[in-house]
Amino acid sequence: MRILFVTATRIGDAVLSTGLLDHLLRAHPGARVTVACGPVAEGIFARMPQREDTIVLAKRRFSLHWLMLWSRVAGRRWDLVVDLRGSALSWLVWTRRRAVMRGGRRPGHKLLQLAAVLGLKPAPRPVAWFGPADDARAAALLPPGEGPLIALGPSANWAGKVWPAERFVALFQALTGPGGRLEGARPVVLAGPGATEAALAAPVLQALPGAIDAVGRLELPEAAALLARCALFIGNDSGLMHLSAAAGVPTLGLFGPTPAGEYAPVGPRARAVLARGLPGKAPMAALSVEAALEAAIALLDTPPAGAWDEVAAATGAATGAGAGAGAGAGA
């Protein structure tokens, strides 16, 4: 069986789509899968089992990237084409079956929208693929034999989604100081490559001298391996947040002017905490350290959620949370 899977350009959306791929791999153990995705999301699929090829879909003028993709896949016969971009491509190649996501924005969590493409319920949980070499690279960054690790993700692809650096520091200190829920834990600061990401992470690194600096140093599978070693992740609404939740790490996503009801992290132990104000409209400055601390402790004290429970909780994250901490376990 040969499957063509056309997915997102952004890391977060690509991570959410891994649940569908994982379902297809389990349903068709001998399938060979070709993934088409954006350049920054390529690493999400680098260690995926049964991957035959990855086609990087770099945007070109006049939508010529779609013509390039068609030229790469039109000569093959596919058993299934899954198109999460809602393009015309899936109708222009030979396939026994096609599943195409409708265009336009719709209400509800993104994971539920993706699951509907294949008619799946409950929605399959996102996964994070990494291998022994990635785990070894992650281990090389960490000091041996120390206590728990808290991963901090202070960057995002839009300044409006960034929680103030001093609040990351204050929250970490509240969790790890005497009597804290993770007393004695060490910080790991992660962010992507580039000067912008480094600048967002720099104040946190400077304020926490013992922090492990993983900013711009890891490929996505290596970052997943490092996250899997952590006791907690706290970060802005970002691809790194979704990768952490997919890796099974207790993940606290910080939300302000983006819709948690659509993009809250989903995993066995994940939760969104919302800034005070209108959900999806409030500024990040309206999210207090106290609200985030309460949500982090509740997350750590909550047992892992079942697949449907976690997505249902994520869907409800934007309601009942506009005044502070958001949603139950699995949000």
**Residue 240 corresponds to which tokens in the numbers above?**
């790194």
> For the chain, which domains are there?
2-117 (3.40.50.2000), 132-315 (3.40.50.2000)
Question: Which is nearest to 266 in space by CA: 325, 301, 207, 308?
Answer: 308
* Residue 331, pLDDT above cutoff 70: no
Distance CA 129, CA 140 (A): 19
Q: How many CB atoms lie within 10 A of CB 194?
A: 11
The model's pLDDT over 125-147, given as tens digits with 9 standing for 90+, comes to 999 999 999 999 999 999 877 78
Burial class (CB in 10 A: 0-12, 13-18, 19+), 110: buried
Per-residue pLDDT reduced to its tens digit, 161-179: 999 999 999 999 999 999 9
Q: Whole-number mean pLDDT of the chain?
A: 91
**Percentage with pLDDT > 90 across the chain:** 85
- Is 330 a residue whose pLDDT tops 60? no
